[in-house]
Structure 1
């Protein structure tokens, strides 16, 4: 059952299909995915199919009562449960998509798009496609006239990514985003063999330092390499490998934390939950051939490069022996 509004606004024109945005305007259509949200914050994603019924613990609701209506309404189930109905945002889709590997969370994907300066028409190389979450953000940023070349070592992860990217962008059966090329293989070997040049290289993998030489050879001067790593040991090794390489600017490393707030009259306080550490991000820019960035004038902390340190070591940093 549903409550049809007394007045409806004129249908909004749909987003142009050749924009490949993954976004639609206007009435909900068969085959589209929608997101139902109840009063307790529980979420359900369903694909609309004529004649079907979606069942919850608060009763059922017919898909036919959703199809043809503008998103942003409340539907009441057969047992009185109220649900908000919207098309899912990209940030909502990626946290609920089927997973083969862990996804890059929206807060990190947004940082990558902004600080790696992903632009329309760019050629972005992505190593470690995972479940396709970051891929969706990269494809939207480069647009249909850009290019995203993704490399994934595991076929089962690649299959999940194909389904997720296809579901979000909504291409016809068998058709994927025109800017996307997915290769099953190791970037360290496959990228040099392809002869491709890139504006940006994004490394989301366990050992991104193994792909740094291939990334450096592929990047145009001024291009950006960006690594997404989960642990401090990975962070340290990648940063020191970039320094030792010599063909990049001083790497910048950071993480982002997101905390919501409870706002109710005078009761304004931090929320009890937050999205804390998910991963570290590192960026560096590619120097022109034969050029080197000025050496960072560093005075390492005592013991930073002591005898217990076994990672890559910049040429200007001697072993820090105890006195």
Structure 2
């Protein structure tokens, strides 16, 4: 079953030429009714508001009229009724991803950046992804492939697809011409939707990517990149061993990234006490030409999984928190509301 975004106009976007990339117009120019603005006070505390004519942002220290922000250039400083100042900026992609409505855990910006770069997501690329979640990675992939590219996203749950669609259309100001989203199991649906060897890149964010070996090998072009995002070391190990045993891919590489901010104040320059540590592992491999055998690694230890291991791959066993249907419906409503605010 396939669901495609339907065209919609955006009240936010000014008149543009046909050459204007999707979503670019609403990222520049003065603040407009319906768009999100990030307000940062003197203490560095942030709040994100959606501008409404006649609206107001209230705190215990006075209120700020939205009309005082509408029409100002990005990067302005505004003052509320009590004299407190705010720095007004458009939220960056990283800000939007971490605050948008969600039903599933999002792919963090640090990992999305790694995926776009290390999977070589280029303008015009044909990409398929599975495990859409709330659409965070889809947004980065769409920015990578551009209007002339192609991204086909597969999601098993309609609720997640609705949330992702709302978030994607919010940040781009409407449907993206390169995006198609389908409901169903990736390994079954992708071989029906995509011609053999027609896909440049495959991106999987799912519990058991090793189950998709045949499907990926079928649709991925020779030399194409397959990148996986998994949460645990046991998932990472089994995926790597399955790829090696399959024989149609190069030797997989795996890594994780960690981000630690720094405190900068005069001579008090030191690492922050908190950091974004482990969020997931990335594992990348490439499709070999048909009939070509992979190079055999020397001194590689053999690894076997017991029947107990093979039956242990459940969301609960790898630490995924169950998401209630009620929470998903609420997140989907919030995502749709964000899309409608900007329509």
Match of 1:305 among 295, 303, 306: 303
Could you say which residue in structure 2 is the equivalent of 1:291?
292
**Partner of 2:39 in structure 1?**
36
CA–CA separation in structure 2 for the residues paired with 1:245 and 1:220: 16
Find the aligned partners of 1:241 and 1:235 in 2 and give their Cα distance.
10
Identify unmatched segments of 5+ residues in structure 2. Answer: 1-13, 311-343
SS at match of 2:192: helix
After TM superposition, give the deviation of residue 15 of structure 1 in Å. Answer: 8.0
Partner of 1:92: 95
Report the CA distance between 1:307 and its aligned residue: 8.2
Number of the residue aligned with 1:169: 172
How far apart are the structure 2 equivalents of 1:285 and 1:136?
23
Identify the structure with the greater helix proportion.
2
Q: Which has the higher contact order (CA 8 A, sep 6+)?
A: 2
Alignment correspondent of 1:187: 186
1:6 corresponding residue in structure 2? none
Superposed displacement of residue 311, structure 1: 6.6
3-state SS in 2 of match to 1:108: helix
Q: Is the 8 A contact 2:263 2:270 kept in 1?
A: yes
Contact 1:15 1:25 in 2 (8 A): no
Does the residue aligned with 2:54 lie in a helix, a strand or coil? Answer: coil
CA distance in 1, matches of 2:17, 2:87: 26
Contact 1:14 / 1:25 at 8 angstroms: preserved in 2? no
SS in 1 for 2:297: coil
Structure 2 counterpart SS, 1:275? coil
Q: Is the deviation greater in 204-213 or in 222-231? A: 204-213
- Deviation track 1:275-320 (CA, whole Å, cap 9, x = no partner) reads 10000000000001111221111243xxx637869779xxxxxxxx
Of residues 114-123 and 286-295 in structure 1, the stretch that sits farther from structure 2 once superposed is 286-295
Contact 2:116 2:144 (8 Å CA) reproduced: yes
Which residue number in structure 1 is paired with residue 317 of structure 2? Answer: none
Q: 1:207 to 1:15 in 2, by over 3 A?
A: farther
Corresponding residue of 1:218: 219
Paired position in structure 2 for 1:235: 236
Are residues 1:144 and 2:178 paired? no
Give the 3 Å change call, closer, same or farther, for CA 57–245 of structure 1 in structure 2.
farther
Q: For residues 182-220 of structure 1, what are the alpha-carbon distances to aligned partners after superposition, in whole Å with 9 as ceiling and x for unaligned?
A: 101111111011134210000001111112211111100
Name the structure 2 match of 1:19.
21
Q: Displacement of 1:14 after TM fit? A: 9.0
Match of 1:247?
248
Residue 55 of structure 1 and its aligned partner are, at CA, apart by 1.6
2:128 to 125, 130, 148: 125
Residue number in structure 2 paired with 1:105: 108
Count of residue pairs brought into register by the alignment: 293
CA distance in 1, matches of 2:251, 2:307: 20
Q: Secondary structure at the match of 2:202?
A: strand
Q: Match for residue 323 of structure 2?
A: none
Are the counterparts in 1 of residues 133 and 160 from structure 2 also a CA contact under 8 Å?
Answer: yes
Q: Does 1:72 align with 2:71?
A: no
Q: What is the TM-score with the length of structure 2 in the denominator?
A: 0.81
Q: Who wins on radius of gyration, i.e. which is larger?
A: 1
Structure 1 vs Structure 2 CA RMSD: 2.0
Q: Give the alignment's TM-score, normalised by structure 1.
A: 0.86
Give the 3-state SS of the residue equivalent to 2:111 in structure 1. helix
SS of 1:277's equivalent?
A: coil
